[in-house]
Structure 1
Amino acid sequence: MPQPSFSTPLIGRNPELARLAGVLERARAGDARAVLVAGDAGVGKTRVLGEAAGLAAAAGTTVLTGHCVDLGDVGLPYLPFTEIVGTLAADERFADVLAAHPVVGRLLGGGTDAVQDRLRLFEGVAGLLTDLAERAPVLLVVEDLHWADQSSRDLLRFLLSRGTLQRAAGGAPGRRLAVLASYRADDLHRRHPLRPLLAELVRLPAVERLEVRPLADVEVTELVRAVQDRPLPDSTVRRIVERAEGNAFYAEELVAATDGGGDGVPSALADVLLIRFEQLSDTAQQVLRTAAVAGRRVEHDLLRGAVGLPEDELEAALREAVGRQLLLPGDGDTYAFRHALAREAVYADLLPGERARLHGTFARLLAGRGRSRETAAERAHHSRESHDLAAALAASLEAAEHAHQLGAPAEELRHLETALDLWASVEPSARPSGEGTDRVTLTLRASAAAAHAGAAHRAVALTRSALAGVQDSDHELAARVRYTLAGNLLGVDSLTAAFSYSSEALALIPADPPSRTWVWAAATHVLAARQVGENKTALRVARQALAVAERLQVPDARADLLISLAILESGGRTTPEGRARLREARDAARGAGNAPVELRALFNLAIGCFESGELEESVSWLREGLERARRAGLSSSPYPLEMRYLHLLVLYTLGRWDECAACAAEDAPVLPAAGAFAAGPALYVALARGDADVVERTRPLAEGPFDWMGRLVASIVLTDEAALRGDPEAAVARMRTGVADLTDDAGALPDATVRLAALALAAVADRAAALRAGGDAEELRHWTDTATELVELARTTAHRGADGSSQGPEGRAWLARAEAEWTRAVSGPDAGPWAAAVEAFASGDGYERARCRLRLAEALLVADDREGAAAEAAEARRTAVRLGAAPLLERVDALIRRGRLAEQRAPGSSPLTAREQDVLRLLAAGRSNRQIGEELFIAGKTASVHVSNILAKLGATSRTEAVAIAYREGLIGREEAVG
């Protein structure tokens, strides 16, 4: 594939090129890497990438390049990847590889089936690159990421963070792939959508960032003299260097502007660009003006049709523009501006009427090409800029449908919102006609696209807009808008408002005669009523609506109501009867083809098992649910997001922490911003393992737009983190803020209050214990009063049910821990409450049980039950080691050393592993860690870890003391101890 050539030498970029060459070399060896190349506009990113691509091509690497393009606020889904696939499709050598991944070919408009599942498309692109890399090393270049559409950003995130750059398992050769992606750093304003993606990607081990910095003055001087054949006066060179400010493109343009004999240097880059542009012939200027309206890149035949010149005049003008290096010829008979700034300057210089006329010309030419679906987004842009609003409206709706078929909900939403903006400006007679093209229905479509894109708050705003436009005389549509709004409000935890709107929807449609609209309005009302505690109303309406759904034969509504009844009726989803009803609902929804209702059934089956302590069965239901969501293209919808969270939570609870963290990393690329909470349990793992950046990773959940689950995760992590670092003021403040945020509109405290109170109580009890040992009595009273306040809050929440029943097993366990921490705060360590807490966590969270065991060991030690304390500490230590919970392990080992609990082992038993026994013998012989490693054929660092474990298990503070204890306990003989 042709690579760009440059007429000037590469100056001042040897370090950057050397670094990229190293990345390419590693990639050729199977170490897949990615580099994000940042720099200001014109600083030389494209030149550096071009040189790197040339090096790669010369070494036999397949180079694939895709460009992002600026079309204002009109996005072209997957544009750079469509360009790359198009390049492959034009080369017969890759026909078989493309044929093996047909879903990728649909980016080019082939086939009639829609790509409704983004994950399939993403996996297809990843598979294509993997297969290409098996033939020859591959370099994937994506230029101008700052203009990338959201779908392209999501696909790049997937490729870099989920498998494509990972090493192959089992020591097999890795993928021979390198990815270089450039973006303008100076274009990234505070709210630019690329910023969070970059922050996420640079944390990946296989991704690095390279900043192309401005050139030094001496380098700009060298560049200026290299690009100009004739000598320039020193004063001119100095002025160019001064004005260029290290920007290579500025410098080249300033030098080129001197060719026309101008007396001075323009004060702005646009002036420089236009001076150079105006040195062209009138015909060449006309061609460039027309090309600038098309965008950064334009096809030859499209340009010919728009400019209206004979072929020979057009070719002469293009040759002149290419000679002046304003245009560059590209693949597929296309031309591109050498730099986006050049195109922007020419475009900005067009007269308003001239600009509108050319946009209209391109819109007509694109419409006449017969590829309506693929050109819809461009036609919408050109029609709008040419003030042909009717055509822009029609093309925007086509573009929205195309984005929907491609599985690009963010772009679908953008096009629908553009259509809605245009709606009032287009005469009713000129608007598209047909079912579903009225303003209210289009707004509801946009609301659905927002929900699928993970923009729950935007979905609410759009549905409110539909409500403002609906006529209540159309009772059915008015009811539909209201129950849709109620459902969206439930998604953003605005429960009271949701109940209000669902009540209005139900009141607008009579129950008799029965109708499908009434059934769905009733089903939504049941959901809202249950969320605000109106369980009697929810149960009554659900039973009534179920009978109507069965009479009207609406199977998916019937399934939805069966789910609600399984939750509401006695025993709920934890009983065999409740689960049988949920399975019936799942089957009914599946038969009706209603995937969202089927997913709701599967979620409730999974959470019912979790609440019953049947964790492995919960995992089974969750896997089925997530797979069903993937196949249906609904992975970003609410229930699958909650299933992802629950899946990680079950893995966390089971102690499968490595799997939990791995699943979270795998899910991250396909999660919408509103689904960030789904990775919450991985944050619990990170905190328990002592990761330093856990607070920074949690902060967006605490400070971003309100999301109930996000605030829950943030409250748990930040309260526990404050407690672990011994800051009771911060722990209590975090706990109170979390409870306030999570309290519903009716004032009902969240169930998580019990857990948050217990976590804050840990820090309070630590402070009280320290003060009791010697401190201010008044301050001690303050903290014991605080402890009593917190435990009362936990008790009230745990026993608040109307029938006086407490929470399930998890809630009861947290209450037991809260009671034990309160006792420790007000009167000191007491083994009884801690033994109860250990027992309460027996069938659940192993990590929390280990934390309670540590407290129980402390209490037993105070009670002089050293044997019992040693046993509990040993169990806690085993759990901490298995989970990799380093902070807990340190605290347990400190207690073992402080209390000399290692001496409480049964006679003749050894706490050491066979390898540790080998290390102990060499330790007794006086060997250093390095010498131990050499004799046992292990790394010195590994030997050091074994020595630390031996000291901890024996309760020793030094190597000499460890040897003495080992001899005393019979773990080594006299000869070894003496030696």
Structure 2
Amino acid sequence: MGRAEELDRLLASVDRALEGRTCAVLLAGDAGVGKTRLLDELSARAAGRGVRVLTGHCVDLGDVGLPYLPFVDLLRPVAGEPLTVAAQPALTGLLAGRPAPAAAELPAGDAADLGRPLPHPGSRAALDDGRLQLFESVAALLAELAAGTPLLVVLEDVHWADRSSRDLLRYLLARLADEPVAVVVSYRSDDLHRRHPLRPLLAELVRLPGVERLELGPLPDAAVGELVRGLADGVAERTVDDVVARAEGNAFYAEELLAAGLAGETLPLALTDVLLARVEQLGEAAQRVLRVAALAGRQVRHDLVTAVAGLAPAELEAALAEAVHHHLLVVSADGRYRFRHALLREAVLADLLPGERVRLHAAIAAHLAATPGAGTAAERAHHARGSNDLAGAFSASLEAAVEACRVGAPAEQLQHLEAALALWPAVPDAAGRAGRDHAALLLDSASAARTAGELHRAVALLREALQLLGPDGDPAARARVHYRLAQALARIEDQASAMRESAAAMALVPRDPPSPVRTWAAATHARTCYAVGRWDEGDEAAGEALAAADALGLDSAWADTAVSLARVRGGEDRAVVTARLEEALVRARRSGDVDVEMRVLFNLAVVPYEGGDLAAALRWIDTALTRAGDVGVEWSFYAAELRHLGVVARYVTGDWTGSLELVEGLTRVPEMAGHVRAAGLLVQVGRGDPTVADRVAWARGLTAHLDAHVLLLLATAGAEIDRAAWAGDAGGAADRARAAIEQIHLAWGVDRLAVVRLAAMALAPVGDAAAGARLLGDDAAVRRWEATGEELVAAARSAVEEHLGKVGEYGVEAAAWLARVEAEAARLQGRAAPELWDAAVRAFGYGHVYEQARSQWRLAEALLATDDRAGAAEQLRAAAEVAARLEAAPLRAAVTELARRGRLPLDLPGAGRVVDPAAVFTPRENEVVRLLAQGRTNRQIGAELYISEKTASVHVSNILAKLGAGGRTEAVAIAAARGLLPH
């Protein structure tokens, strides 16, 4: 996963070997980054190309190494093969553990070292220190093996190689030149400290012709996410995000962290041991520096280490140099030190004793306080809390929240505010330090939670504020909490509770004289009234809010109310509604209220989307998302809704790659924005992505957790229904649609046009099932599937009727899906009805590229049934073009199958060849197949064809054998799919 480019480069070296040229790749990468997995894949691919693979492994044996161990490992599989190598005795000695017969005669020290200049590739006698015979034997053996079959030689973990093995590798890469041999050598780059013996060899090898170095960097986040989802079924997306963030592209770390997450541990012991083993190789001073650096943060300044470590300057410099040279610390461009990997820091932190941790926190906090500009408020808060200075931590947390707000980081702002809330009871003068009372701090925290997309957390904080104020608290303060709570509740689909809260706010503050609190209470009450269908009460509250907002100059409240009014006037001209929304946008921006601005922008995008002007909708969406990013509110409620609408709109317009791009790069998405990710499932289902099952399982789990989130439900149910439809699971599709329709009815009441889409999608496989049963003459099954389909049709029609009666007209998307429902209803009854499918094609022509193509496929099917072969071919060609452009594999397969069954000579892979049944079956077998499709028994076939029952049985057996079918029903299905059923 995520290694396509590196694998291609390695396979290119294999290709060069196949062409008869020796080449080598030095593969570097940190421990756990995936070198072995990549080499395993390379070996399998190379073997598939006819290359012989020999693999040798180095083992960490400390100072007591076994000479030539990786080459013994590599050559042992060929020991029993007949060879003509001249130096066979030396080779036999190598494999037997006696690598050099004259070893006792070798000179000591430098005389036995191959660290001299490398020999010319054509030279055979440049070296002779007693090992030349062995080295020549190995080189000749590899050449002889490669003469028969090109070789891929893989040497793993060469950082552990003994000196003799390094010398032999050096000789081979210099000696072999025009042999069909590819050599790939892997080593850990993080293990190569400055004096590591492999360093000079690598520097020399890369200067040889045909030798290149390949650095295996961290996996991309998307690949790590795919890896994690593949390791465990139904893993929560939040867990995936956490593992991706902490693993930093290291596959081994990701696997260990996932195991720890499922087991409830903070950091796996196995991983901690691996990481600390490298730390323990350092001296005491260097380890002390690492402990200071770990507690200080991921990056640490030199002055802080100097102030806290307590080492003499020379000792400190030596300790830092040791940590850097062993690749535990890295020097950043700004001169600060940082850990090579975040998990290494976590392991060092976990190893600190409690008393040492407190002392170091106190020392760091004292340094930050005494040094202006030495650290941020968040750092000071962290270290003050760690040193048990709770009052200092409280003040610094509040300051950090202000800094986070200033830079547009609401999630971090919430984190700091909640830290201050937790410390409130322990700080005697908390109100004085905060400059506000406890309830006000709760409101500020709730506001940050809303902006960060943590709506459930906002509701909890607001309810805590209400409880703190009590029934006798200041009415205006209580009203402010009530209407903010109503807004938050509305956004988590709890409209009944939102209505109660907004009514409570209205009751606490008088209408006259106008006040900001009463104005916002009225604006919120108008929204909640409209949401539950109390139109008159909503109009009265909206009128009051507009008048008061004008009188008080509250542009944000005016804009918010104007949006509510614009959205409930469904029958008004779209240009008029847009003009009102644009005026609201001007006022919202003038007020500086970003939350209201996002609401206006969302509605400015929704209005053209509902009218079928997808280009205009996307322009507003892109404008809004850019604005949300600029001000740091990407996961506020309406910003998340805009991203969701962007995913859906791009899916509709056929920009499936753009749709997925809005989803795939997301990390740490709030739960309430899970529908944004889930919206991408339709693209994956449409493309037949094999990984979609895991994503659907995740979305289903999140839907169960957030049972009131209708948009998440719609995204998930739509993907599940479509997936079941393409799999031919009519029962599963119908069951999922019925369950979702019931949930939508409970959540949205009469405003539930989404039911039409779900019903239409589920009707497709149900109609297929009814058609199949009709073909087999199974009347009971036909009636059962017709009843299932009629229930779905009735649900769709009922939703439309209720919407027309209580809400008003509906948009082009609902009209298109309703046309699909009517066409599917006819197909359910066995009627071709090309005029209804033509209406569906035209209805989806507003811009829904994929669904128009699917309707064209069905229209072609209907035209074939009415013997309009030219019309059917035209519709299939159009559907095939869209399927190819979107990479919609299931639709393309369906189009191809229909072309084959209808014997339409389309220019499609697999469909261009018209199959003649006469080329498969005898004339008599064709007659038998026709009767099998009608559900006839052997006796009935015999009677109709004037042959014996036994003869009919023989014909049926021959037909099953030719089709590779296990039974009569399967045979009919296969014959139908291949276009072999007589017309």
| TM-score normalised by length of structure 1 | 0.63
1:515 paired residue number: 515
Match of 2:901 among 881, 898, 903: 898
1:135-163 per-position Cα deviation (integer Å, ceiling 9, x unaligned): xx999999xxxxxxxxxxxxx98xx67xx
Q: How far is the alpha carbon of 1:797 from its aligned partner?
A: 0.5
* 1:822-841 equivalence runs, <5 A: 822-841=825-844
Q: Is the 8 A contact 2:410 2:633 kept in 1?
A: no
For the Cα contact (< 8 Å) 1:600–1:639, is it kept in 2? yes
Aligned to 2:240: 195
Q: Structure 1 CA distance, aligned partners of 2:568 and 2:462?
A: 28
Q: Does 1:209 align with 2:251?
A: yes
Aligned length: 710
* 1:252-401 equivalences in 2 (<5 Å): 302=304, 343-344=348-349, 347-348=352-353, 350-351=354-355, 356=358, 359-371=361-373, 374-401=375-402
Distance 2:340 2:567 in 1: 62
Superposition deviation, residue 400 in structure 1: 2.2
Partner of 1:88: none
The Cα of 1:864 is off from its aligned counterpart by 3.0
Distance 1:684 1:534 in 2: 35
Partner of 1:495: 495
Aligned twin of 2:524 = 524
What is the CA-CA distance between 1:395 and the residue it aligns to?
A: 1.6
Equivalent-residue separation in structure 1 for 2:297 and 2:271 (angstroms): 28
Q: Closer, same or farther in 2 for the Cα pair 1:511/1:775, shift >3 Å?
A: same
Q: Is 2:512 the partner of 1:539?
A: no
Shift of 1:860: 2.7
User: Displacement of 1:755 after TM fit?
Assistant: 0.7
Give the Å deviation of 1:483.
Answer: 1.3
How far apart, CA to CA, are the structure 2 residues paired with 1:746 and 1:644? 22
Classify the secondary structure of the residue corresponding to 2:877. Answer: helix
Counterpart residue number, 2:666: 668
Q: 1:716 offset after TM fit, Å? A: 0.8
In the TM superposition, what whole-angstrom CA distance separates every residue of 1:863-904 from its partner, at most 9, and x where no partner exists?
3333443343333334333433232222222222222234xx
Q: SS where residue 845 of structure 2 aligns?
A: coil
Separation in 2, partners of 1:882, 1:345: 52
Query: Structure 1 residues 395 and 200 mapped into 2: Cα distance closer, same or farther (>3 Å)?
Result: closer
Partner residue in 2 for 1:792: 794
2: CA distance, partners of 1:664 / 1:481 = 34
Give 3-state SS (helix, strand or coil) of 1:442's partner: helix
Residue 422 of structure 1: aligned partner: 423
- For the residue of structure 2 that corresponds to 1:513, the secondary structure is coil
Q: State how 1:125-204 maps to structure 2 within 5 Å.
A: 195-196=240-241, 198=243
Give matches, 1:862-877, under 5 Å.
862-877=865-880
Q: Distance in 2 between matches of 1:15 and 1:633?
A: 36
Name the aligned partner's letter for residue 783 of structure 1. W
User: Conserved in 1, the CA contact under 8 Å of 2:275 and 2:347?
Assistant: no
Contact 1:556 1:594 in 2 (8 A): yes
Amino acid at match of 2:490: L
* Corresponding residue for residue 623 of structure 1: 622
2:706 corresponds to 1:700: no
Q: Which amino acid counterpart does residue 739 of structure 1 have in structure 2?
A: I
Match of 1:50 among 166, 174, 190: 190
One-letter code of the match for 2:379? E
Structure 1 residue 767 corresponds to structure 2 residue 758: no
* Aligned counterparts, 1:533-932, within 5 A: 533-569=533-569, 571-572=571-572, 574-665=573-664, 668=666, 672=670, 674-680=672-678, 682-704=680-702, 705-706=705-706, 707-745=709-747, 747-748=749-750, 750-774=752-776, 776-801=778-803, 803=805, 805=808, 807-902=810-905
1:296 touches 1:337 (CA, 8 Å); kept in 2? no
1:425-470 per-position Cα deviation (integer Å, ceiling 9, x unaligned)? 221x3554464x3222222222222233332222222222222222
CA deviations over 1:49-106 (Å, ceiling 9, x no partner): 5347979999999xxxxxxxxxxxxxxxxxxxxxxxxxxxxxxxxxxxxxxxxxxxxx
CA distance in structure 2 between the partners assigned to 1:443 and 1:600 by the alignment: 24
Cα shift at 1:294: 5.7
Separation in structure 2 between the aligned mates of residue 13 and residue 596 of structure 1, nearest angstrom: 46
State the 1:318 CA deviation: 9.4
Report Cα offsets for 1:790-826 as digits up to 9, x if no partner: 1111111111036365532211221221222222223
Q: Please list the CA deviations of residues 481-503 of structure 1 after superposition, one character each: whole Å capped at 9, or x if unmatched.
A: 11111111222222211121111
Query: What amino acid is aligned across from residue 391 of structure 1 in structure 2?
Result: G
Query: Alpha-carbon deviations, 1:110-152, whole Å to 9, x = none?
Result: xxxxxxxxxxxxxxxxxxxxxxxxxxx999999xxxxxxxxxx
Name the SS for the 1:407 alignment partner: coil
Name the CA distance, whole Å, in 1 between partners of 2:387 and 2:739: 52
Give me the whole-angstrom Cα distance separating, in 2, the residues matched to 1:878 and 1:503: 55
Q: CA-to-partner distance for each residue in 1:635-668, whole Å, 9 max, x for gaps?
A: 2222222222223333332333344344544x63
Query: In the TM superposition, what are the counterparts of 1:93-132 in structure 2 within 5 Å?
Result: none
- Report the secondary structure of 1:424's partner residue: helix
Structure 1 CA distance for aligned equivalents of residues 510 and 762 of structure 2: 51
Q: Structure 2 CA distance, aligned partners of 1:679 and 1:18?
A: 28
Q: Quick one: distance in 2 between partners of 1:664 and 1:289? A: 39
CA contact (8 A) 1:290 1:358 kept: yes
Partners of 2:370 and 2:700 in 1: how far apart? 52
Distance 1:647 1:302, change over 3 A: closer
Deviation of residue 288 (structure 1)?
9.7
Deviation at 1:19, TM superposition (A): 4.2
Partner residue, 2:408? 407
Cα distance in 1, alignment partners of residues 352 and 31 from structure 2: 35
- The Cα offsets for residues 334-354 of structure 1, whole Å up to 9 and x where unpaired, read as 799996588557632x55xx7
Aligned residues of 1:489 and 1:497 also touching (Cα < 8 A):
yes
Question: Cα distance 1:15–1:656, how it changes in 2: closer, same or farther (>3 A)?
Answer: closer
Give the aligned residue type for 1:839: R
Cα distance in 1 for residues equivalent to 2:838 and 2:912: 23
1:364-417 deviations in whole A, cap 9, x for unaligned?
A: 332222237x34333323332333321221122122223333433333222211
Q: 1:501 to 1:791 in 2, by over 3 A?
A: same
Q: Counterpart in 2 of 1:121?
A: none
User: Cα deviation per residue 1:724-766 (whole Å; 9 max; x = unaligned)?
Assistant: 1110121122212322343445754632111111111111111
* Displacement of 1:669: 5.3
Q: Distance in 2 between matches of 1:330 and 1:363?
A: 24
Change (3 A) 1:827 1:790: same
Q: In the superposition, relative to structure 1, how do residues 702 and 567 fare at CA in structure 2: closer, same or farther (>3 Å)? A: same
> Which AA in structure 2 matches 1:493?
E
State how far apart, in whole Å, the 2-side matches of 1:346 and 1:726 are.
56
Q: Give 1:565's aligned amino acid.
A: L
Residues in 1 aligned to 2:672 and 2:620: alpha-carbon distance in whole angstroms: 23
SS of 2:251's partner is: strand
Q: Which amino acid aligns with 2:880?
A: R
Letter in 2 for 1:952: A
Match for residue 932 of structure 1?
A: none
Aligned residues: CA RMSD: 4.9
Retained in 1: the 8 A contact 2:410–2:448? yes
Distance 1:556 1:411 in 2: 25
Task: Flag the 1:57–1:497 CA change in 2: closer, same or farther, 3 A.
Answer: farther
SS in 1 for 2:911: helix
